[in-house]
Amino acid sequence: MNVLTHYETPLLQSPFHARTAAANKMHSWGNWGGYASVLTYEDLAMEHAAIRNTASVYDLCPMVKYRITGPDAAAYLNRLTVRNAAKLSVGSVHYTVWCDDAGKLEDDGTLFRLGAHDYRLCCQERHLPWLLDSAFGFDVAVREETEEVAALSLQGPTSAAALSAAGFDVTALKPFRMADFPFGRGRLMISRTGFTGDLGYELWTTPDLALNLWDHIFAAGELLGIRPIGSDALNLARLETGFVITNYDFTPAQQAVREDRARSPFEMGLDWLIDWDKGQFTGRQALLAEKAKGSKWAFVGVEIDGNISAEGAVLYHDRKTEAGVVTGACWSPTLKKSIALAQVERRFLAKGNLWAEIYALRELHYAKLMQRVRVVDRPFFAPDRRRATPPGRF
Amino acid sequence: MTAWDILVIGAGHNGLVAACYLAKAGLKVCVVEKNDWIGGAAVSRELYPGFTYSNCSYVNSLFRPEIMRDLDLPKHGLQILPYEGGALMTEDGGYLGMFRDHDANRREIARHSKRDAEAYDRYARDVLRHCRFIRPMLMRTPPDPASFRPRDLAELAWLGKQMFGLSELAMMDMIRFWTMSIADYLDEYFENPAVKAYQAVGSIIGTALGPMSPGTAYVLLHHAMGDVDGNVGAWGYSRGGMGGVTKALTASLRAAGGEVITGAGVDRVLVKNGRSHGVVLANGDEVIARRVVSNMDVRRTFLKHVEETELPPEFVKRVKGFKTRGSSGKLNIALDGVPNFPALPKGAPNIKGDLHFTGTIEKMERAYDDWKSGHFSADPFQDCMIPTMIDPTMTPPGKHFMSCFVQYAPPKIEGRDWTDADRDAFRDACLNQIEAYAPGFKNLVLHVEVRTPRELEAEVGLTEGNIFQGELTFDQLLFNRPVPGYAQYRTPIRDLYLCGSSTHPGGGVMGAPGRNAAAEILRDMKLPAKDLSDAYPVL
Ligand SMILES: Cc1cc2nc3c(=O)[nH]c(=O)nc-3n(C[C@H](O)[C@H](O)[C@H](O)COP(=O)(O)OP(=O)(O)OC[C@H]3O[C@@H](n4cnc5c(N)ncnc54)[C@H](O)[C@@H]3O)c2cc1C
């Protein structure tokens, strides 16, 4: 019972650690959900370029995973999440969110239907008590399986070619579909999913096969420009496509100490996920009321004048009245623009005339800028190759 | 003989805080203390050569950082050291560790229950919400709801605003939380007995209630609302022992021109025409002062040192009814080396924090059952610390000081006074329990100071040995502390004030009662409160 020594390894190591550590030339580690996770292996610009130019590999293991099985699995997930999990066909994946009773977001995630009565839910935060409590009255089993799965994200224009070279033919695989392959003494599941908005796949296997998988994929991708990427490069790519991250772009309700910080799907621009016709789901009453009454906040993608990233900037209406806050921002290397995601009070959104106050630190002095902000459609960047089936050669 | 502006009875930390603020305001201040040492329940004495103890209080979190800063305490030697978590040992030889790192803590809890590991987010959110609600109240004088003075109305309105700033659901949760038992509260979040027992620790300390008694959830909050450098809920050691707090306060007081006289117990507060003008010391000396401030608890002050005929009977009745039931004892142990707890992995940092040997809430409640029947607990609950694992100043290198806070110990044994034999039996019950989890422990013991409610009352003056100068139950808080109508540090006797833990916001080494009392005295004297900071805003 006394074998666990967290104090010696306060950060868990993923099944790929032997490889990620060897490749982490800058020794740049961050804490992602209690795992040692690489921020930048070697060079941020090169890693971002790999996502948009060749093939990039990202260690996904720290993502929290739950397995939901049983005859009522679909009904249960319909009750838990806002989207219709029963409509998700076996072998498909969808993006979804779930709320508390007050209709405030707890997390977002991807739901994989592995079988008629077998789903996997991948997300950022931890929810076991909520998932178990929500199961009252349903014939389902909910299990936390984060440490039982080893997963890599393979993203970029040459990712399909790399998989073919590795012996996994994914040419027919459409976005949000999965395929299953024998691998070593076990199996490899490949889903056409990702967090980059580009052509890409996620590879799922068991921890015992992790290092073989890494080696196999890197060997196959050698001539296709494959390289490992850290969270910093991934963050640039997800901003370019406009994806949100729980606790970056909104504070989940179960952690919001300040009650007014929680946000609803409407307020995060995620109400399109809601299936109002599927019957009761957690938060439905509150969300219906909000739909009728209107929401306080909105979540938008914006372009900002100038070339300085607006990380953490306060947004103003008419340069004077505080109207919101930037939750994520970057200079987009792909778009050659300063882009950002922001929470904005709706009443100011309608009026336009938005500005960002940016403090640019230059050799120990701040250049204080007030830059014009324009609300634009997301995704900011959506190349056709992300959807093309079969995927283009490169 | 000099006439003082202010005479403070008792050099506990609250008396010293009040004295410091008043001296800084330019008043001539004298503190008289019955003991030959200062500190009250925040005291460090060397009872075994080379070993400094924290004789009563032993950890710090509550002491208001605003006061540390106003009174320049770090400059006068106060240093607070954070510590690294702790461990609860279970009967089956296992343990549940506590870690400062969120994920290490989650993994540790997951060893006991995967569900509970992930329940922590919601639990922490809810407890923090309650902390945010209570923290702004600590450094404010409670309103008198029965008075219609503009100031009380404004303060009531402020309180109302705090309350109505909450959502309906949060308000209902708040009311439930303030009245329910910690056992019921924890059942709403956790399933594992050890996890629950660990969380319940803060809810019974210093309280003559069991974890299943209503009202104990609030006591948890009282132990969670402090911080170390903004880290809410964290606890730390005062370098050199808890006496470091009162030593720094005394230095600050002297720097401001105030005086402390030890070995000068007060016999009687002088009262003439409903007004106090000084005290008579035990040696018969009279000390004259324009205002008298008592750091003693409310019962000791009014039932022992003020003529009852000077007081309104209703007030006396209420003071007599103020609950000061003692529930705790303490062992201060000089050790020849580090005790070995086989349950803890070698090298684990947990030994640097709080150690407990009570694996379930049920076991805590059984310990409380003994108290109810007039005995100390045969199998007690202990909150043990070895501050010398971190602090190099308290013992010679390689030797250690261990502080063991023990529950439960009643003020009387089956209605009669404690005897020395009772005290020795109490000591043995505690040492035997530690020995069971750390074989060979007793061989390391060089000296033990044992304090039952009898010693706490005799030495510190805590009536019935209640460590908080009065229980922290909802009926004795806010505008009802110590008694309705007298929650604003004033008393039925003009120019006689209270500043000890019997007053709002209560016990613990917090300093807020002393600071708030000083604010009221300055108000009465029409002096500006320029050196008193308001509470840091809760953002
Ligand atoms: C065993 C124990 C452990 C504790 N552990 C902790 C802890 O770890 N952390 C924490 O925050 N709190 C703890 N507490 C509570 C905390 O120590 C007290 O609530 C706090 O110190 C009380 O301070 P005070 O200034 O209000 O009163 P006191 O410290 O009680 O001061 C009153 C002073 O008045 C003096 N006095 C009494 N009668 C007379 C007289 N007739 N004439 C002159 N002087 C007189 C006394 O000697 C004493 O110095 C503990 C208390 C005890 C007893």
Residues A370 and A382 in one domain: yes
Quote the pLDDT of residue A351.
84
| A174 lies in some domain | yes
- Strand segments (E) across chain A: 29-32, 35-38, 55-59, 64-69, 93-99, 105-115, 118-123, 141-144, 150-155, 178-183, 186-191, 200-205, 226-228, 297-304, 314-317, 321-332, 337-345, 354-362, 365-376
Residues A45 and A192 in one domain: yes
User: What does the H/E/C string look like for B60-128?
Assistant: ECCCCHHHHHHCCCCCCCCCEEECCCCEEECCCCCEEECCCCHHHHHHHHHHHCHHHHHHHHHHHHHHH
The span from the CA of A37 to the CA of A18, in Å, is 12
Q: Which residues contact A66 (CB under 8 A, 6 or more apart)?
A: A120, A121, A123, A127, A128, A131, A142, A143, A144, A145
Examine residue A273 and state whether it is found in any structural domain, yes or no: no
Q: Is residue B19 part of a domain?
A: yes
- Same structural domain, A216 and A303: no
Residue B181 phi/psi, 5° resolution?
-85, 155
B506 in any annotated domain? yes
Distance from CA of B134 to the nearest CA of A (A): 14
C-alpha A206, offset from chain centre: 21
> Bridge partners of B385?
B403
**B456 Cα: distance to centroid of ligand 1 (angstroms):** 9
CATH of the domain at A310: 2.40.30.110
For residues A208 and A333, state if they share a domain.
no
DSSP 8-state assignment for residue B141: P
- Are A340 and A312 found together in one domain? yes
A257 lies in some domain = no
| Assigned domain for A264 exists | no
Q: CB-based burial of residue A97 (10 Å sphere; 0-12 exposed, 13-18 middle, 19+ buried)?
A: buried
For residue B69, give both structure tokens.
């800063």
CATH number (domain holding residue A175)? 3.30.1360.120
DSSP class of residue B535 equals P
Is the CB of residue A307 less than 8 Å away from at least one CB of chain B? Answer: no
Flag whether B389 is in a domain. Answer: no
3-state secondary structure of B157: helix
Atom of ligand 1 nearest to the CA of B459: 47
Q: Is A268 among the domain residues?
A: no
Confidence of residue A3 (pLDDT cuts 50, 70, 90): low
The boundaries of the domain holding residue A71 are: 64-147
Quote the pLDDT of residue A2.
43
Q: Helix (H, G, I), strand (E, B), or coil: what is residue A56?
A: strand
Measured in whole angstroms, the distance separating CA B457 from the mean position of its chain's CA atoms is 15
Q: How many residues are given for chain B?
A: 539
Residue at B255: amino acid letter: A
Integer-rounded Cα radius of gyration of chain A: 21
Nearest-CA neighbor of B235 among B353, B339, B97, B349? B353
Q: pLDDT 10s digit of each residue in chain B, 539 long? A: 578 999 999 999 999 999 999 999 999 999 999 999 999 999 999 999 999 999 999 999 999 999 999 999 999 999 999 988 899 999 999 999 999 888 889 999 999 999 999 999 999 999 999 999 999 999 999 999 888 899 999 999 998 888 888 888 888 998 999 899 999 999 999 999 999 999 999 999 999 999 999 999 999 999 999 988 888 888 999 999 999 999 999 999 999 999 999 999 999 999 999 999 999 999 999 999 999 999 999 999 999 999 999 999 999 999 999 999 999 999 999 999 999 999 998 888 999 999 999 999 999 999 999 999 999 999 999 999 999 999 999 999 999 999 999 999 999 999 999 999 999 999 999 999 999 999 999 999 999 999 999 999 999 999 999 999 999 999 999 999 999 999 999 999 999 999 999 999 999 999 999 999 999 999 999 999 999 999 999 98
Say which CATH number the domain at A112 has: 3.30.70.1400
Report yes or no on B465 lying in a domain. no
User: Are residue A394 and residue A345 in the same domain, yes or no?
Assistant: yes
Note the ipTM here: 0.93
Last residue of some domain: A200, A229, A258? Answer: A229
Burial of B1 per CB tally in 10 Å (0-12, 13-18, 19+)? exposed
The answer to whether residue A122 is domain-embedded is yes
Q: Are residues A53 and A158 in the same domain?
A: yes
Half-sphere exposure of B538 (CA within 13 A, CB side): 20
Q: The tokens of B428 are what? A: 């043995």
The one-letter amino acid at A53: N
Any idea what the CATH number is for the domain that residue B18 is in? 3.50.50.60
**Total of domains in chain B:** 1
Atom of ligand 1 nearest to the CA of B266: 42
B contacts of A3 (beta carbons < 8 Å): 345
User: Among A229, A255, A278, which residue terminates a domain?
Assistant: A229
Quick check: A183 pLDDT over 70? Answer: yes
Predicted confidence (pLDDT) at residue A5 exceeds the cutoff of 80: no
Look at residue A281 and tell me if it is in a domain: no
- Shared domain check, A166 and A56: yes
d(CA A79, CA A281): 4
Residues A108 and A75 in one domain: yes
Task: Give B-chain residues touching A130 at CB under 8 angstroms.
Answer: 122
For A94-103, the pLDDT digits (tens) are: 999 999 999 9
| Interface with A, mutate which of B122, B127, B172 (most A CBs under 10 A) | B122
- Position A31 scores a pLDDT of 96
Confirm or reject contact between A100 and chain B (CB < 8 A): no
B528-538 CB burial, b ≥16 within 10 A, e <16: eeebbeebeee
Of B106, B115, B128, the CB nearest to A129: B115
Contact A94, A176 (CB under 8 A): yes
Chain B residue with Cα closest to A125:
B118
Average pLDDT score, chain A? 96
Nearest ligand 1 atom to alpha carbon B502: 26
> Token match 């299990």: residue?
A143
> pLDDT tens for residues A210-237?
999 999 999 999 999 999 999 999 999 9
**Could you tell me if B219 and B182 are in contact, meaning their C-beta atoms sit under 8 angstroms apart?**
yes
pLDDT value at position A335?
A: 98
* Residue B246 is assigned to a structural domain of this protein: yes
**Predicted confidence band of residue A189 (pLDDT cuts 50, 70, 90):** very high
> What six digits make up the tokens of B455?
């010693």
C-alpha span between B431 and B89 (Å, rounded)? 15
Q: Which two tokens stand for residue A116?
A: 């008629």
Q: What's the distance, Cα to Cα, between the start and end of chain B in Å?
A: 50
B59 CA distance to ligand 1 centroid (A)?
13
**B99 vs A256: CB contact, 8 Å cut-off?**
no
Decide: helix, strand or coil at residue B161: helix
* Tens of pLDDT, residues A107-117: 999 999 999 99
Domain residues for the domain of B7 are 3-42+63-78+239-323+473-524
Q: Mean of the pLDDT values across residues A353-366? A: 97
The total number of structural domains that make up chain A = 3
From atom 6 of ligand 1, which residue's Cα is the shortest distance away?
Answer: B57
Last residue of a domain, one of A127, A147, A167: A147
Residues 126 through 155 of chain A touching chain B, CB cutoff 8 Å = 126-130, 132, 144
Residues 6+ apart with CB under 8 A from B208: B323, B325, B326, B327, B371, B408, B410, B466, B471
